[in-house]
Every structure is written in structure tokens, then in C-alpha cells.
């Protein structure tokens, strides 16, 4: 029986690679602070976010989705709420009201119910009277806590639920942001 002879450098190649790749710990404690442009969460209290009210017409600043129900247009203003517009005469649409829904991003309509996200909650609103929209039901904590911004490839300050609900993200100069997406 013939014994195979393997050169010594081939026997130790894999262990040597593993040792050099994973055998070192990076110590970042002694590195200088890094100041960078990153995103920082802006918080509101849960009580503030859960306050929904019908207001008079507001100017459209950053319109989002649009739903049509009968003669009405429901225009989402991300982070703010929903504009209700009477579109009986498309040449002269009339702003009727604005439903303030803090931290709102999305909406849907079925029959006379407007469904909106309200931070971490799902809320059903009665839209029978477009000047006096009322809350029918709230399902608390229906959505996960918004712990990161929608953008990808960004550094950001980690969100902290103890500070309230994240209602938006703003660009800021941060030192050593810990989170990345």
C-alpha cells in the first residue's frame, strides 16, 4: 500500500486562512469619533399621534395617494393626514376638510369607512359626513414599531420606543451613528 505524501504547506493552508481571517478582533474603542450626515428619528408621544381630528381645508404640500369615492377625492398627505375634496365639478374642485392623522402613510376605503395607518395603529374612520369624520375603531399596535427609515444604504440613529413614536426621519450631523440600513 502506497502512502500519499502531501506537502506541508497544503496541510496547513485552510487552518492558516481561518486563523488569519477570524482570529483577530477589531477593537473600535480607540478609534476617533466619526461625525457624519445621517438620519435621526423625530418622535411624538403616543397620545399626540393617536389624536385624530377633522379640521378645515389645508393646503396640499406633499400629496400622496388619491382615492375616489363617489364625488369625493381622498388625498393622502404622508405623515400628516387626508384631504377631502368635493370633485362634483372637476373644473372647480372644492376642498371640504382635512383629517389630521399624525404618522399616516397609507389609506384604503371600503363603503363609508376610511382605513388609515396611524403610527403603529390601524384606524377605521366613518366618512359618511366628510366635514365631521369620526373614529369607528382603533386596533392598537397593529403594525411593527418604525425602527428604521424607508431609505436604504443610510446610517441612522437607532430608534427608541421609550421616546415615543417615530413620525419622520430628518437629516442631521451625528457622531458615531450605530445603525445602518
**pLDDT grade for 20, boundaries at 50, 70 and 90:** low
What pLDDT score does 118 carry? Answer: 93
- For the chain, the average pLDDT equals 89
Nearest to 102 by CA among 166, 173, 29: 166
Kindly list the distances between the CA atom of residue 47 and the CA atoms of 119, 129, 145, 165, in Å, as whole numbers in the listed order: 11, 25, 15, 10
List, for residues 21-38, the tens digit of each pLDDT value: 655 555 556 678 889 999
- Of 19-33, 51-65, 83-97, 115-129, least confident by mean pLDDT is 19-33
What percentage of residues in the chain have a pLDDT greater than 90? 74
State how far the Cα of 173 lies from the Cα of 29, in Å rounded to an integer. 21
Q: Which whole number is the average pLDDT over 99-126? A: 96
Task: Report domain 46-139's class.
Answer: mainly beta
State how far the Cα of 31 lies from the Cα of 118, in Å rounded to an integer. 41
**pLDDT grade for 2, boundaries at 50, 70 and 90:** low
At residue 14's C-alpha, the angle toward residues 12 and 18, to 5°, is 115
What pLDDT score does 83 carry? Answer: 99
Domain boundary assignment for the chain: 46-139
* Positive or negative torsion for Cα 137, 140, 141, 145: positive
Amino acid at each position: 500500500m502506497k502512502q500519499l505524501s502531501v506537502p506541508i504547506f497544503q496541510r496547513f493552508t485552510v487552518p492558516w486562512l481561518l486563523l488569519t481571517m477570524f482570529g483577530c478582533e477589531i477593537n473600535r474603542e480607540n478609534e476617533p469619533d466619526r461625525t457624519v450626515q445621517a438620519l435621526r428619528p423625530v418622535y411624538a408621544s403616543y397620545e399626540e399621534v393617536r389624536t385624530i381630528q377633522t379640521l378645515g381645508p389645508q393646503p396640499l404640500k406633499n400629496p400622496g395617494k388619491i382615492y375616489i369615492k363617489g364625488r369625493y377625492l381622498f388625498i393622502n398627505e404622508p405623515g400628516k393626514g387626508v384631504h377631502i375634496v368635493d370633485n362634483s365639478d372637476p373644473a372647480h374642485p372644492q376642498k371640504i376638510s382635512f383629517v389630521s392623522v399624525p404618522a399616516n402613510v397609507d389609506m384604503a376605503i371600503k363603503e363609508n369607512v376610511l382605513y388609515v395607518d396611524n403610527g403603529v395603529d390601524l384606524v377605521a374612520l366613518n366618512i359618511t359626513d366628510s366635514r365631521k369624520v369620526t373614529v369607528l375603531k382603533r386596533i392598537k399596535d397593529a403594525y411593527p414599531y418604525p425602527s428604521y427609515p424607508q431609505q436604504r444604504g443610510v446610517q441612522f440613529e437607532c430608534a427608541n420606543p421609550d421616546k415615543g413614536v417615530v413620525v419622520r426621519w430628518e437629516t442631521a450631523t451625528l457622531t458615531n451613528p450605530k445603525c445602518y440600513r
